Amino acid sequence: MESSKPIMELELEEDKLHYTWKAPVLEKKLTYDVKKCVGCGLCEKVCPVNAISMGPIKDIASGKVEAPYIIIDETKCVACPLCSGVCPSGALKLTLQADFDHPRVKGEISLDKEKCIPCLLCEKICPRDAIKAEVKVKKKEELVKYLGEESWGKGNIKVDLEKCCYCGLCELLCDAIKIEWVDPQPPQLKVGATVSVDLEKCDYCGLCEEICPVQAIKVECVESAPREVGKPVVEGSLEIDEEKCVWCGMCAGACPVDALHVEKPFEGHIYMVQPNECDPSGCKNCINICPVNVVYVAKPPSKDKMGFVEDYCIYCGACEKACPVDAIRVSRRSIRIASVESPWSSMCSEMLKRSLTTYKPPKPKVYHRVVKVEEVEVTPPPPPPIPPTPKGFQRASKALTKLLETITSVQGRILFERGEYKKIASKLEGD
């Protein structure tokens, strides 16, 4: 007999778990990418069959254990679009047939190509490595043409480190400039530590001053050999990988020319409660788990122990889950859902809203009661053993055979139909 119930198969592939829901007419695949998962737990909130449970997040965040943040119970999971729709980092993905798409919680990122220079800033600041910037800057050697034999210049150059945004264009332009690149850390989130100019190499051509988008370099050429200085040429493009982008907006915040516009998928608030319990020197769970690296140890005059760069916080709530003393609260107040033209998108979107902390489920239209019915198992008693054939069976069989012969005779039957059993009985005795 063919199995009629759909089965869920689990396949492991490197860092990905593939759950394949197999049914006679359709196969659905839910892929869980362990590396992409941030531990926010929003999938647990929206799952309609409670198939998702959180793993040991606090221990994973502190580094004690290496494990995936969530556990999906394949006996319960039906591979519906909800967890895949809410996942902020794209760790959960549902695939069906070719043209299938479902509502998703999604931010928006848009690039104004006219404004974009391009430069290296967004690529360097993006905490998810979602931006690739291809920047081609014409080297200073190509742009400065010395007319005679000599090639020198004298003057002053000053880089205002307060203004410098570390876009990296000056370094690409001229070998005399060196930027000390660092990993951006909250709250300053600067990608560079300092800019240094090798005065030996610098000929005060002023190209760096021109190329700098924030006018952080001031060059004053006092004297130089006769030369022609061209205009800086910057070419290139940005490639934004929407699979990796979580719409935190850091790139938009850093962009010196406001070329990027980002809308976050959630809007809300993140704050600390019971700050006395928090131990920033011993525990670093929230800093470790934050997918966009916006958590930092706060300094006075802040009363809280930890600080959050709320502009770029995506309100995923992973830090709230990771905190061992439950000192962080993340509230999600509004949600941005990219809907699709499907008849089910209204309920799907409604259920995605369960990820909001302010969500109130709609009141049922009928007076709902849950009835407890206990299954009553009635076990039937065991059947009695079969007795052996009795001794008198042969005689019984003989007597019945005689009777049969009587009533299959014409006379006997006539008597039978008339109901004259006495006459038939006497006939039997007679034979």
Partner 1 sequence: MREGGEGGYPPEKVKVAVFVCRCGTNIAGVVDVDEVVRHFSSREGVVVGEHEHCCSDDGLRKIKEVLEKEGATHLIVACCTPSLHGELFKRTAEEAGLNRGFVEIVNIREQCSWVHSFDPKRATIKAIDLIEMAIAAAPLASSAKVVKMPVEKSVLVIGGGVAGVTAALTLADMGFKVYMVEKEGFIGGHMAKWDKVFPTLDCSICVLGPQLSRAYNHPNITVLTLSQVKSVRGVPGNYEVEVYRKARFVDEKLCNGCNKCLEVCPIQLPNEYEYGLGFRSAIVKPSPEAVPQAPYIDMESCVGCYSCYGVCDPKAINFKDRDQTITLKVGAIIVATGFKPFNPKGFEEYRYGFLQDVVTGPEYERMLNNVGPTKGRILRISDGVEPKKIAFIQCVGSRSDRVGHRYCSRVCCNYAIKQAVQTKLMKPDIDIAIFYIDVRATGKLAEEAYRRAIELGVRFVKGRVGDIRRTREGKLRLFYEDILEGNFKEEDFDLVVLSVGMEPHEDIKELAGMLGVHLSEDGFLAEYHLKLNPADTFSRGVYVAGACTGPKDITESVTQAGLAAARVAELLGRGEIEIEVYAPVIDESKCKLCFNCVRACPFGALKMGKGRVEIDEVACRGCGACLAACPTGALRPPGYLTNEQISAMLKALLSRKSEFPLIVAFMCRWCSYAAADNAGLNRIPYPTNVRVIRVPCSVRVSPEHILEAFRLGADGVMVLGCYEQDCHYRVGRIKANERVETLKKLLEAVGVNPDRLIIDGASASEGKKIAELVRSFTEKIAKLGPIGSEFEV
Binding test (CB under 8 A) with partner 1, winner from 372, 391, 395, 422: 372
Q: List, as one string, the DSSP characters of 152-164.
A: -EEEEEEE-TTT-
The overall longest dimension of the chain from CA atoms, in Å, is 156
Q: What angle do CA 160, 166, 167 make, to 5 degrees?
A: 125
The least distance separating partner 1 from the CB of residue 366, rounded to whole angstroms, comes to: 4
Binding test (CB under 8 A) with partner 1, winner from 373, 378, 386, 410: 373
The least distance separating partner 1 from the CB of residue 66, rounded to whole angstroms, comes to: 31
- C-alpha 301: how far from chain center: 36
The least distance separating partner 1 from the CB of residue 27, rounded to whole angstroms, comes to: 8
> What is d(CA 34, CA 133) in angstroms, rounded to the nearest whole number?
27
> What is d(CA 42, CA 318) in angstroms, rounded to the nearest whole number?
9
> What is d(CA 390, CA 95) in angstroms, rounded to the nearest whole number?
70
53 in contact with partner 1 (CB under 8 A): no
1 in contact with partner 1 (CB under 8 A): no
Binding test (CB under 8 A) with partner 1, winner from 282, 300, 364, 380: 364
The least distance separating partner 1 from the CB of residue 269, rounded to whole angstroms, comes to: 29
Binding test (CB under 8 A) with partner 1, winner from 9, 35, 48, 271: 48
49 in contact with partner 1 (CB under 8 A): yes
Region 316-345 residues binding partner 1, contact defined as CB under 8 A: 342-345
Q: Binding string to partner 1 for residues 101 to 120, with x set by CB under 8 A, is what?
A: -x------------------
Q: Output 5 or 231, the one with its CB closest to partner 1.
A: 5
Region 78-97 residues binding partner 1, contact defined as CB under 8 A: 78-82, 96
Region 136-165 residues binding partner 1, contact defined as CB under 8 A: none
Exposure of 131 by Cβ count < 10 A (0-12 exposed, 13-18 middle, 19+ buried)?
A: buried
407: its two tokens: 């009533």
Q: Output 81 or 186, the one with its CB closest to partner 1.
A: 81
End-to-end CA distance of the chain: 59
Cβ(353)–Cβ(336) below 8 Å: no
Region 59-78 residues binding partner 1, contact defined as CB under 8 A: 78
> What is d(CA 304, CA 283) in angstroms, rounded to the nearest whole number?
15
- Residues with Cβ within 8 Å of 173's Cβ and at least 6 positions away in sequence, in order, are 137, 138, 139, 140, 207, 208, 211, 232
Alpha helices in 303-344 (DSSP H): 318-322
Q: Output 83 or 177, the one with its CB closest to partner 1.
A: 83
Closest by alpha carbon to 292, among 339, 250, 354? 250
Q: Binding string to partner 1 for residues 5 to 34, with x set by CB under 8 A, is what?
A: xx--------------x-xxxxxx------
314: its two tokens: 């995506």
Query: In the 8-state DSSP scheme, what is residue 379?
Result: P
Q: Output 48 or 226, the one with its CB closest to partner 1.
A: 48
> What is d(CA 49, CA 44) in angstroms, rounded to the nearest whole number?
10
Q: List, as one string, the DSSP characters of 78-95.
A: ---HHHHHH-TTS-EEEE
98 in contact with partner 1 (CB under 8 A): no
Among the listed ranges 142-150, 178-186, 290-298, 359-367, the one in contact with partner 1 (CB under 8 A) is: 359-367
The least distance separating partner 1 from the CB of residue 351, rounded to whole angstroms, comes to: 6
Among the listed ranges 31-39, 362-370, 381-389, 409-417, the one in contact with partner 1 (CB under 8 A) is: 362-370
Binding site for partner 1 (CB under 8 A): 4-6, 21, 23-28, 48-49, 78-82, 96, 100, 102, 342-348, 351, 364-374
